[in-house]
């Protein structure tokens, strides 16, 4: 029988429903009996780790995912261009994706740098990681004491602790999509 604090049965059931699977269909995919699934979802048994793992592989999903899952309120998913929030006051443009969401784990930006534009000397460093892809033009990126020019299709991945800055030294507009976690704004 179960007493595990978190409602494993309910959680499994809701995941199964999300994927539009019947107990029997999940049973086939996971190699666990449909009756077992029924009992687990009713919290009449506490599944072995093996069984739970098999079941999750039917989605697929990992044990980490399962135990990390918390019910979250549904929030806006799609964003038109005018729904992206402009963060920059200079000539450059920093459009934030998902600004309306309360507790983002991710800071995704669509950045546009005109010729001569740049991020300023961003000496603020914070815990986390940051990465991006150049989607148009080229840009000079300084990371620590390294300096390099990245062209369309190239990318970077850095620890946010290391001071970094961007400058468009070309005569073309440059666009970047970047992501960081945890978000610093």
The residues in 58-77 that bind DNA, with binding defined as CB under 7 A, are none
Query: Which stretch in 33-41, 78-86, 146-154, 169-177 sits in contact with DNA by CB under 7 A?
Result: 33-41
Span near DNA by CB under 7 A; candidates 35-43, 68-76, 79-87, 158-166: 35-43
By CB under 7 A, residue 31 contacts DNA: yes
> Sign of the CA dihedral 62, 66, 67, 73?
positive
Instruction: Please give the backbone phi and psi of residue 147, each rounded to the nearest 5 degrees, phi first.
Output: -130, 135
Report the partner that residue 35 touches, choosing among DNA, a second copy, none (CB closer than 5 to 8 A by kind): DNA
13 near 23, Cβ under 8 Å?
no
* Burial label, 114 (beta-carbon count in 10 A; 0-12, 13-18, 19+): middle
Our finding on whether 111 is near DNA (CB under 7 A) is no
Which of a second copy, DNA, none does 88 bind, CB closer than 5 to 8 A by kind? none
Distance CA 57, CA 44 (A): 22
For a second copy, the closer of residues 48 and 171 by Cβ is 48
- Asked whether the beta carbons of 92 and 114 are under 8 A apart, the reply is yes
Question: CA end-to-end span of the chain, whole Å?
Answer: 45
Contact between 47 and DNA per CB under 7 A: yes
Binding site for DNA (CB under 7 A): 1-2, 22-25, 31-42, 44-48, 50-51
């Amino acid at each position: 029988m179960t007493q595990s604090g978190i409602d494993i049965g309910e959680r499994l059931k809701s995941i199964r429903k999300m994927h539009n699977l019947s107990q029997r269909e999940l049973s086939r995919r996971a190699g666990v009996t449909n009756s077992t699934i029924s009992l687990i979802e009713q919290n009449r048994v506490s599944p072995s780790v093996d069984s739970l793992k098999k079941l999750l592989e039917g989605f697929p999903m990992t044990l980490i995912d399962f135990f990390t899952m918390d019910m979250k309120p549904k929030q806006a998913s799609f964003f038109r261009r005018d729904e992206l929030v402009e963060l920059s006051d200079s000539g450059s443009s920093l459009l934030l994706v998902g600004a309306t969401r309360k507790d983002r784990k991710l800071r995704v930006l669509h950045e546009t740098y005109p010729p001569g534009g740049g991020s300023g000397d961003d000496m603020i460093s914070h815990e986390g990681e940051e990465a991006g892809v150049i989607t148009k033009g080229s840009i000079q990126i300084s990371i620590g004491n390294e300096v390099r020019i990245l062209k369309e299709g190239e990318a970077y991945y850095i620890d946010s602790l290391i001071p970094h800055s961007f400058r468009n030294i070309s005569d073309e507009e440059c666009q970047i999509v970047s992501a960081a976690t945890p978000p610093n704004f």
